[in-house]
Amino acid sequence: MRAAEIQSDLTTVLVTEEEILAKLEEIAAQVAVDYAGKDLLLVGVLKGAVMVMADFSRALPSSVPMDWMAVSSYGAGTKSSGVVQIRKDLDTDLHDKHVLIVEDIIDSGLTLSWLLENFASRGALSIEVFALLRKPDAAKVQVDCRYVGFDIPNEFVVGYGLDYADEYRNLRDVAVLAPHVYS
């Protein structure tokens, strides 16, 4: 996709890369304090959380293992179906681990509440959530999210890992996708 085409597909930039990186530093410092002396495991949710995991994990002061889970609840549309499928499970046994789930965005909350329930039976010592973005007005279920980067309006956004039909993920900023792209 050409740069001019990308420009016409986006409306407002909601969060810049610079703002994201500053926020990640802040949250990483808090996480380092909260998990001092604990066996922390970062669990990223593919594929959306790839960028946030890369930058967040490197903002942490110490070495931390990471694992990945791939689930899908979306298909090619812009609304969560609530039906979650595991496409790739964890490689790590969660027993005796303090798990921090790293997510790109909480929209309806359906995916995360399903994940939290799924993880609850795996013997972790604790399970918390860090979501870079959250849409408070889209919540269908309440998800207990310990760390949140930015609350954003209820609009479909792309960039910094977030995609529409697998496009726009590698854009540096988070921007609103113009409705003409998906309607």
Which residues make up the interface to ligand XMP (CB under 6 A)?
45, 48, 73-74, 80, 103-112, 156-158, 162-164
By CB under 5 A, is residue 109 in contact with Mg ion? no
What is the CA angle 69-117-140, rounded to 5? 95
Report the residue number, 123 or 153, with the smaller CB distance to ligand XMP: 153
Of Mg ion, ligand XMP, none, which one sits near residue 24, judging by CB under 5 to 8 A according to partner kind? none
Read off the tokens for 126.
């604790």
Measure the CA–CA gap between 182 and 165, rounded to whole angstroms. Answer: 10
By CB under 5 A, is residue 149 in contact with Mg ion? no
Three-state SS for 135-173 is CHHHCCCCCCCCEEEEECCCCCEEECCECECCECCCCCC
Report the residue number, 119 or 156, with the smaller CB distance to ligand XMP: 156
Report the residue number, 75 or 123, with the smaller CB distance to Mg ion: 75
What residue type is assigned to position 55 of the chain? D
Of ligand XMP, Mg ion, none, which one sits near residue 163, judging by CB under 5 to 8 A according to partner kind? ligand XMP
Report the residue number, 10 or 45, with the smaller CB distance to Mg ion: 45
CB of 36 to ligand XMP, least distance (A): 29
CB of 24 to ligand XMP, least distance (A): 17
Of Mg ion, ligand XMP, none, which one sits near residue 128, judging by CB under 5 to 8 A according to partner kind? none
What are φ and ψ of residue 88, in 5° steps? -145, 125
Considering 107, 137, 166, 173, which one is annotated as catalytic? 107
Q: Is the CB of residue 155 less than 8 Å from the CB of residue 176?
A: yes
Active site residue 93: no
Residue from 23, 40, 43, 48 touching Mg ion (CB under 5 A): that is 48
Residue among 171, 144, 143 at smallest CA distance from 158: 171
What angle in degrees, to the nearest 10, is found between the helix axes of 17-34 and 50-59? 60
Residues forming the site for Mg ion (CB under 5 A): 45, 48, 104
